[in-house]
A = this chain, B = another copy of it.
Amino acid sequence: MTKALLSPLPRLLVQDAVRGALKEDLGRAGDITTNAIIAPGARIRAVIGARQAGRIAGLDLAEAAFDMLDETIVFERCVDDGEDIEAGGIVARLEGNTRAILSAERVALNYLGHMSGIATATQKLVALTAGTKAQICDTRKTTPGLRLLEKYAVKAGGGTNHRFGLDDAVLIKDNHIAAAGGVAQAISAVKANVGHMVKIEVEVDNLDQLRLALASGVDAVLLDNMSADMLAGAVGMIGEQALAEASGGVNAATVAQIAASGVDLISVGALTHSAPALDLGLDF
């Protein structure tokens, strides 16, 4: 993706997150090893390097980690969030107080590795669906406390974001339909209750449900665990009436075929709950 399209994380929330993570690592007494050995005024240069190729995300958090321990540390980015790096490439260059750099190192790398891991996993699926209109998108299957950061990383990977929580969009699932007494009734109840700026999506398991959903009028339909053939049929039935989102069983082996069905979106929980960290390190 082009950098211009990647909206920055809200600065206030980055500060809150990093402050919490530093306090988690510093504990009560701080970095007792570094403070016992390194002179207070010592200075150092370091680089954050990539041990493997991938897509970078999380530089604001890494920079904030160093900045919070010493605001005179110079943090120079060699790539930006949303850009790719080769194995052996340099992500950023640092110069400043040695104590602060050593004490913030792990928090910075933990954020950067986690978020870049998600961006990299996303980018791989995005690449596999190139040439289709399908966008790779995330879910609410995120690590507790990190949803905002993880959804940002998905965007850095070239994906797009599903709803951020239970409150900012409607997603009617099978339990809701059962409780409401049917697809139409569930949609009707929602429309009577939520504001006009809230989008409505309904999960359907078969084409009958899909037909009812389209008749009621929704913004998107979630086609859950359908075969490629069924997906294609659903996409044809939907046409321009709603966005078509596929989910279930998505991985590197299946994503191209799913995208070929013509769906608009492919949502993948594994982007945020199972992406391995990108291997990054701080070298002096």
**Apart from the given pairs A26-B165, A42-B179, 4 other A-B contacts in the complex at a CB distance below 8 Å:** A12-B26, A24-B165, A28-B168, A33-B170
Residues of B near A145 (CB, < 8 A) are 17, 20-21, 24, 145-146
Number of identical protomers:
6
Distance in Å from the Cβ of A238 to the closest Cβ of chain B? 13
Given A5-B192, A21-B144, A145-B17, A172 and B37 touching (CB < 8 A)?
A: yes
Decide if B243 touches A196 in the complex (CB within 8 Å). Answer: yes
Residues of B near A250 (CB, < 8 A) are none
Give complex CA distance A130, B141 in Å. 33
- Chain A 100-126 interface 0/1 with B at a Cβ cutoff of 8 Å (1 = within): 001100110111011001000000000
Closest 7 A/B residue pairs (Cβ)? A274-B276, A27-B167, A7-B35, A21-B144, A36-B193, A161-B195, A27-B165
Residues of A within 8 A of B (CB): 4-5, 7-13, 17-40, 42, 44, 68-69, 98, 102-103, 106-107, 109-111, 113-114, 117, 135, 137, 140-148, 151, 160-173, 175-176, 178-180, 186, 189-190, 192-199, 201, 219-220, 243, 245, 264-265, 269-270, 273-274, 276-277, 284
